[in-house]
Amino acid sequence: MKNIKILLFLIFSFLLTSNTYASSIEKIDAIDNNTVEITASDDVVFSDTFVEGDIKILKDMKVSYSEKDSTNSRKVLLNLSDDLLANNSYSLITILWAEWNIDFKIWNHLDWEITNPMLREWDKGIEKINIIDSKTIELYYNYDLTDDLFEFKILSDIPTTGLFSEWNNVVDLWIKWNLEKNTDYILMILSLEDINWNPLVFDEDLYDFKTSADLVEDVEAKDVVLAAAKEDTNTWNVEQVALATEETPDTGSATWVLVLLTIIVNAAFFLRKKLIK
């Protein structure tokens, strides 16, 4: 009986240590505007024929200003440092409250109103958004807001085409659309397998990186096309946000995005914030 207990203890200890061990990402380099080189720790070896995995590249769009409307307690005005582009997908994520999220896509024109299809009748959250122009968004909630402090992230999807390696711990992620120079991005590892098709566990799932000002153009730079605003824009709100942005410092730091993806990103940012505090 004693030997059985010892054996069970050793098995449990082995499973515990094997499950808690995690590899790491040592370096992320945008070697050109079409390729991101990801270097894992030395314990990882990738296949030289086919690397199985799902890695997302997200552009971190800065929110320069956000404030609750003075007359409507269910409305928040939000201003971006970067423009919303045509034919792009986005995720708006609230850092301070996990349920305040919405995915949306911009087509050739800016939609005046986009409802949140994932919001259930009994949920609290973002009911709809109004996109006034390429840098101005109105958020509408389905209940009265009591807080005055808001912090948001808006992430834009950068499509990728595949993962490639040379039988070592380095994997290249090929980009479908070119990366921009001197721009902040987020690399998110949803899944990744080694040479033996074993799922890899990393100590983190989100990694920040920034492209250089002299990023090599391996492919022709994609034209930046701003989504055209509709004629019935609310000019009063545009002016209000513009004036407030001049006096407010930069806080810094889509439909394609599944609900699970939004939850993962939001939870990661929330945990980061809690750990920093």
At residue 214, the 3 state secondary structure works out as coil
pLDDT at 268: 57
Q: If residue 36 lies in a helix (H) or strand (E), which one and from where to where? A: strand 35-40
pLDDT at 199 over 90: yes
Q: What is the mean pLDDT of the segment spanning 10-22?
A: 48
Query: Please, which pLDDT band fits residue 148 given cuts at 50, 70 and 90?
Result: confident
Query: Please, which pLDDT band fits residue 18 given cuts at 50, 70 and 90?
Result: very low
| pLDDT tens string 208-221 | 999 999 998 877 76
pLDDT at 9 over 50: no
CATH number where 54 lies: 2.60.40.1220
Are the C-beta atoms of residues 131 and 110 closer than 8 Å to each other? Answer: yes
pLDDT at 96: 67
Q: Give the domain range for residue 104.
A: 24-277
Which residue has better confidence, 113 or 6?
A: 113
pLDDT at 65: 87
Which amino acid is it at 30? A
Residue 164, classified by CB atoms within 10 Å of its CB into exposed (0-12), middle (13-18) or buried (19+), is middle
Distance CA 127, CA 119 (A): 7
In the block, which residue shows the tokens 């080694």?
Answer: 194
Distance CA 94, CA 153 (A): 6
Lowest mean pLDDT among 126-140, 175-189, 219-233, 247-261: 247-261
| Chain center to CA of 20 | 26
pLDDT at 205: 83
Closest alpha carbon to 202 in 11, 55, 36: 55
In a domain, 7, yes or no: no
Instruction: Name the strands in the sheet holding 152-158, side by side, starting at the edge strand that comes first in the sequence.
Output: 101-106, 88-94, 152-158, 53-61, 184-192, 206-210
Residue 5, classified by CB atoms within 10 Å of its CB into exposed (0-12), middle (13-18) or buried (19+), is exposed
Looking at the whole model, is its pTM more than 0.85?
no
In a domain, 218, yes or no: yes
Q: What is the mean pLDDT of the segment spanning 74-98?
A: 83
Q: By percentage, how much of the chain surpasses pLDDT 70?
A: 70
In a domain, 52, yes or no: yes
Which residues lie closer than 8 Å to 55 by C-beta, 6 or more apart? 38, 160, 163, 173, 187, 188, 189, 190, 192
In a domain, 260, yes or no: yes
Distance CA 162, CA 168 (A): 17
Closest alpha carbon to 195 in 43, 74, 27: 43
In a domain, 88, yes or no: yes
pLDDT at 176 over 50: yes
pLDDT at 273: 47
At residue 190, the 3 state secondary structure works out as strand
pLDDT at 107 over 90: no
Which residue has better confidence, 251 or 27?
A: 27
Q: What's the structural domain count of the chain?
A: 1
pLDDT at 119: 82
Query: Please, which pLDDT band fits residue 34 given cuts at 50, 70 and 90?
Result: very high
Are the C-beta atoms of residues 160 and 185 closer than 8 Å to each other? Answer: no
DSSP conformation class of 108: S
Query: Please, which pLDDT band fits residue 43 given cuts at 50, 70 and 90?
Result: very high
In a domain, 1, yes or no: no
In a domain, 15, yes or no: no
Q: What is the mean pLDDT of the segment spanning 124-135?
A: 87
Query: Please, which pLDDT band fits residue 261 given cuts at 50, 70 and 90?
Result: low
pLDDT at 10 over 70: no
In a domain, 216, yes or no: yes
pLDDT at 42: 92
Lowest mean pLDDT among 208-217, 252-261, 263-272: 252-261
Q: By percentage, how much of the chain surpasses pLDDT 90?
A: 31
